[in-house]
Amino acid sequence: MTPATQLRVGRLTKAHGLKGAIKLELFTDDPGRRFVPGAVFTLQVPTSSPWHGKTIELVELRWYNQHAVGFFKGVPDREAAETLAKAILWIDQDSAEQTDEEDAWYDHQLVGLAVVRDGVQIGTLTRLEHLPAQDLLIVKTAAGEVMIPFVKAIVPSVDVKAGVITITPPPGLLEELPDEPDTDDATPDDAAPATDADAEPDSDEPAATPTPDGQGA
């Protein structure tokens, strides 16, 4: 029997209305199959959450202004819905099942792939971190582990069959930016030359003290 794995299909974002509804960010192109009444999801929440280690069952999925909104068993009001904000939804899935959904992969399919920038391999993906704000690719490089946000602008291509993840990181993400030149110590080209008045006196003798007018020394 092929072992089951888990597929991340959505994230609960915030409460909607007063009857326990919660807005959803969907990570599936087929919500009609994934989000059906009775579907049970494993919750990824902080250990301090009252929902830690629990599952949640969908009662109904509705659409409001093109935004998915879910109603769940055991979430009767807004106060309860707010305790689920930023929770990530996972489903148990047979790892042998292939998905036709765009940009949908199992974690185990990506771990070990080569991470390439400008046609050159810079490291290997060791794991993924699924955080409430965004997902991160943890890449092992010659200089150590680096974290890369798993967003389309930075990770434009994932080719599981070829074993390659292509990244286009912004400057400074993988290496330190060069130091800016220190302009404070630079001498302007048109600086005025020192004058005689600015020069230090050659003699170590103290300056003569002036006498009052009309009096001899």
Closest CA to 53 of 40, 63, 68, 43: 43
Sequential DSSP letters for 132-198: SS-EEEEEEETTEEEEEE--TTT--EEETTTTEEE--PPTTSSSPPPPPP--TTPPPTTPPPPPGGG
Report how far apart, in Å, the C-alpha atoms of 201 and of each of 197, 206, 209 are.
9, 10, 16
Q: How high is the pLDDT of residue 216?
A: 45
Residue whose token pair is 């794995």: 5
Q: How high is the pLDDT of residue 213?
A: 47
User: Which DSSP helix (H) or strand (E) runs through 125?
Assistant: strand 120-130
Q: Cα-flanking dihedrals φ and ψ of residue 39, to 5°? A: -65, 135
Q: How high is the pLDDT of residue 124?
A: 94
The answer to whether the beta carbons of residues 29 and 105 sit under 8 Å apart is: no
Give the pLDDT confidence of 76-93 residue by residue, as tens digits: 999 999 999 999 998 887
Look at the pTM and tell me if it is higher than 0.95: no
Cα separation, 45 vs 207, whole angstroms: 80
Name residues whose C-beta falls within 8 Å of residue 168's C-beta, 6 or more positions apart in sequence.
117, 153, 154, 155, 156
For 4-94, the fitting CATH number among 3.20.20.450, 1.10.3720.10, 3.40.50.300, 2.40.30.60 is: 2.40.30.60
Q: How high is the pLDDT of residue 207?
A: 47
Q: Hey, where are the domains in the chain?
A: 4-94, 107-166
Superfamily grouping for domain 107-166: PRC-barrel domain (2.30.30.240)
Domains 4-94 and 107-166 share a fold: no
Report how far apart, in Å, the C-alpha atoms of 198 and of each of 27, 42, 195 are.
73, 79, 5
- Counted residue by residue, the chain has a size of 217
Q: How high is the pLDDT of residue 123?
A: 92
Do strands 4-16 and 40-44 pair parallel, antiparallel, or not at all (unpaired)? Answer: unpaired
Count of CB atoms within 10 A of residue 24's CB? 22
Residues of the chain predicted below pLDDT 50? 1-4, 177-180, 186-188, 190-191, 197, 199, 201-217
Residue whose token pair is 């050659």: 202
